[in-house]
């Protein structure tokens, strides 16, 4: 037995399996055995012996570099980390852009790749002329300019926003082979900064008859959604900033409604008015578009909260495992109800589970990054993640989910959204060749 093979055997023998098919204890990230096993598994991961004399001088280290731009943009060598566009030519229809979650790390989504959905293009709103009004069942209707809102004490919070139609391709009766961006890219997480809606409502005064409010945007369709009034008293706010800078135009510049945990279409962009009412308005968007059809032909009347969910971003479709050995399984979990309490990972299609490590302290209604080390033996595997939030809500299996919600006979295209709020456990199948596919297990 050669030195390398002997080193690999000793290193792997020291790893602590906690579930079937090679899942390791999350503490192995900190163990020396992980480093040894990784180095012994693949020569491409072994640091090359070098000396100061071996250093080369590439051309970029011999000439003056380029100018500093007024607004920094990513390197040309990271040009693949971009959104995919469903309507790149801005035809008169809904436009969608999807976040490349499989190419990102951490929990914050950069502004330039935050997903967007707009129903009639992005309006070019002059903030100096934009006005926001609260009226209806209030003591006095009031109007604010952008500069007026900036005089209030601002608050910041990390929150995910997810389209109700995110992961809708998973309703397909047969697995659609596509990457994380295509299947789950209509969700992003950012730090939003603005004025709590409750403060503004205190100034207008609330008529006791008011039970709902209608939020309406200033874009051409004037998209409007009914929101229960309790959400305004809870954590709703009018956002003016996104990750520290003014809102991106596709995300509602100059102001938008943020309703942490609620489905994205309710978080109205280009906000121009809020009207307090005694009952929901049953607008086109809540009665015809964003509905939840059921197998019995009926539909949920309202379905506000995006429930607990997780998916593995690496390894996933589009990547390939080049050889057996140690890998880090990583992904995202979130819940519209609150904090993620734990995430469990399976490498054998749900027969056994191991607890993943969570990055940092989970935030309420925000992305949580999870990780776990995995020793792939070169055989077939099915990777799954299952999240549980602080209230005990747990992702259902796909079989249980479709039994309650149904599935489609056919899916006309990846961009079709005939149903919403898919949050079941999702699976990636690994072949002995290291190829990865979307599978149902």
Answer yes or no: is 48 within a domain.
no
pLDDT at 44: 43
211: helix, coil or strand? coil
State whether 189 and 211 are in the same domain: yes
**Last residue of some domain: 281, 300, 319?**
300
Question: Which phi and psi angles does 247 have, rounded to 5°?
Answer: -45, 140
Q: Which of 159-163, 266-270, 408-412 has the lowest mean pLDDT?
A: 408-412
Sequence-distant (6+) residues with CB within 8 A of 279 are 211, 212
State whether 202 and 267 are in the same domain: yes
State whether 184 and 322 are in the same domain: no
Instruction: Determine the Cα–Cα distance for residues 170 and 439; give it in Å rounded to an integer.
Output: 10
Torsion of CA 199, 204, 210, 216, to 10 degrees: -80
Query: For the chain, what percent of residues have pLDDT higher than 70?
Result: 88
Cis peptide before 320 (omega within 30 of 0): no
State whether 275 and 364 are in the same domain: no
Answer yes or no: is 42 within a domain.
no
Residue range 391-419: average pLDDT?
78
Contact call for residues 367 and 189 (beta carbons, < 8 A): yes
**Last residue of some domain: 252, 282, 300?**
300
Answer yes or no: is 123 within a domain.
no
What is the extent of the structural domain holding 337?
309-439
CATH number of domain containing 360: 2.60.40.650
Answer yes or no: is 199 within a domain.
yes
State whether 193 and 296 are in the same domain: yes
State whether 233 and 313 are in the same domain: no
Please, which pLDDT band fits residue 42 given cuts at 50, 70 and 90?
A: very low
Answer yes or no: is 70 within a domain.
no
State whether 270 and 411 are in the same domain: no
Structure tokens at 3: 């030195």
State whether 404 and 347 are in the same domain: yes
**How many domains does one find in the chain?**
2
Cis peptide before 315 (omega within 30 of 0): yes
State whether 246 and 218 are in the same domain: yes
State whether 282 and 330 are in the same domain: no
Structure tokens at 219: 């874009």
Answer yes or no: is 356 within a domain.
yes
- DSSP per position, 339-408: -EEEEEEESBTTSS-EEPEESSSPPTTS-EEEEEEEEE-SS-EEEEEEEEETT--BPPPHHHHHHHH---
Residue range 415-421: average pLDDT?
69
Q: Which residues pair with 373 in a beta bridge?
A: 328
Angle, CA 389 vertex, CA 383 and CA 392 arms, to 5°: 105
Instruction: Determine the Cα–Cα distance for residues 261 and 335; give it in Å rounded to an integer.
Output: 7
Contact call for residues 419 and 166 (beta carbons, < 8 A): no
Contact call for residues 169 and 176 (beta carbons, < 8 A): yes
Answer yes or no: is 354 within a domain.
yes
- Give which of 242, 234, 240, 287 is closest to 259, Cα–Cα: 234
State whether 155 and 263 are in the same domain: yes
For the cut 50, the answer to whether the pLDDT of residue 317 exceeds it is: yes
Q: What is the pLDDT of residues 183-220, one digit of tens each?
A: 999 999 999 999 999 999 999 999 999 999 999 999 99
- Give which of 170, 417, 172, 399 is closest to 293, Cα–Cα: 417
State whether 244 and 341 are in the same domain: no
User: Global pTM?
Assistant: 0.92
Instruction: Determine the Cα–Cα distance for residues 22 and 144; give it in Å rounded to an integer.
Output: 58
Q: Which of 45-49, 184-188, 252-256 has the lowest mean pLDDT?
A: 45-49
Residue labelled with tokens 């566009």: 85
Q: What is the pLDDT of residues 96-110, one digit of tens each?
A: 999 999 999 999 999
**Last residue of some domain: 300, 334, 350?**
300
Structure tokens at 356: 């993943």
CATH number of domain containing 237: 3.90.420.10
Mean of pLDDT over the chain: 90
Helix 32-41 / helix 3-14 crossing angle, nearest 10 deg: 140
For the cut 90, the answer to whether the pLDDT of residue 54 exceeds it is: no
Answer yes or no: is 10 within a domain.
no
Q: What is the pLDDT of residues 80-137, one digit of tens each?
A: 999 999 999 999 999 999 999 999 999 999 999 999 999 999 999 999 999 999 999 9
For the cut 80, the answer to whether the pLDDT of residue 143 exceeds it is: yes
């Amino acid at each position: 037995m050669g030195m390398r093979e002997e080193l690999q055997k000793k290193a792997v023998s020291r790893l602590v399996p906690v579930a079937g098919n090679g899942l390791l204890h999350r503490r192995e990230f900190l163990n020396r055995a992980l480093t040894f096993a990784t180095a012994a598994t693949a020569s491409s991961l072994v640091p090359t012996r070098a000396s100061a004399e071996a250093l080369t001088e590439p051309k970029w280290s011999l000439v003056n570099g380029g100018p500093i731009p007024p607004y920094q943009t990513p390197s040309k060598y990271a040009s693949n980390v971009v959104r995919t566009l469903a309507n790149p030519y801005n035809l008169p229809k809904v436009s969608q852009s999807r976040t490349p979650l499989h190419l990102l790390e951490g929990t914050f989504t950069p502004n330039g790749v935050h997903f967007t959905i707009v129903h009639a293009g992005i309006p070019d709103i002059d903030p100096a002329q934009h006005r926001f009004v609260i009226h209806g069942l209030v003591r006095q209707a009031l109007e604010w300019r952008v500069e007026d809102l900036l005089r209030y004490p601002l608050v910041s919070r990390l929150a995910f926003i997810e389209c109700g139609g995110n992961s809708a391709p998973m309703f397909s009766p047969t697995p659609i082979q596509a990457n994380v961006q295509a299947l789950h890219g209509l969700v992003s997480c950012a730090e939003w900064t603005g004025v709590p809606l409750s403060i503004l409502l205190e100034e207008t005064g609330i008529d006791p008859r008011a039970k709902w409010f209608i939020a309406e945007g200033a874009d051409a369709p004037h998209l409007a959604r009914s929101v229960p009034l309790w959400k305004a008293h809870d954590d709703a706010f009018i956002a003016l900033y996104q990750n520290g800078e003014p809102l991106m135009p596709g995300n509602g510049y100059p102001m938008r409604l943020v309703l942490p945990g609620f489905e994205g279409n309710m978080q109205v962009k280009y906000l121009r008015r809020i009207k307090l009412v005694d009952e929901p308005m049953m607008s086109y968007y809540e009665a015809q578009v964003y509905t939840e059809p059921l197998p019995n032909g009926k539909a949920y009347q309202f379905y506000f909260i995006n429930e607990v969910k997780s998916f593995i971003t690496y390894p996933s479709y589009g990547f390939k495992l080049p050889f057996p050995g140690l890998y880090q399984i990583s992904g995202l979990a979130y819940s519209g109800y609150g904090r993620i309490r734990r995430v469990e990972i399976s490498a054998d299609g749900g027969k056994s589970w191991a607890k993943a490590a969570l990055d940092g302290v989970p935030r309420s209604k925000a992305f949580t990054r999870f990780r776990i080390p995995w020793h792939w033996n070169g055989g077939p595997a099915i990777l799954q993640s299952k999240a549980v939030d602080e209230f005990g809500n747990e992702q259902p299996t796909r079989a249980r989910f479709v039994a309650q919600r149904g599935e489609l006979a056919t899916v006309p295209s990846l961009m079709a959204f005939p149903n919403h709020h898919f949050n079941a456990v999702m699976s990636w199948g690994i072949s002995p060749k290291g190829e990865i596919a979307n599978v149902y297990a």
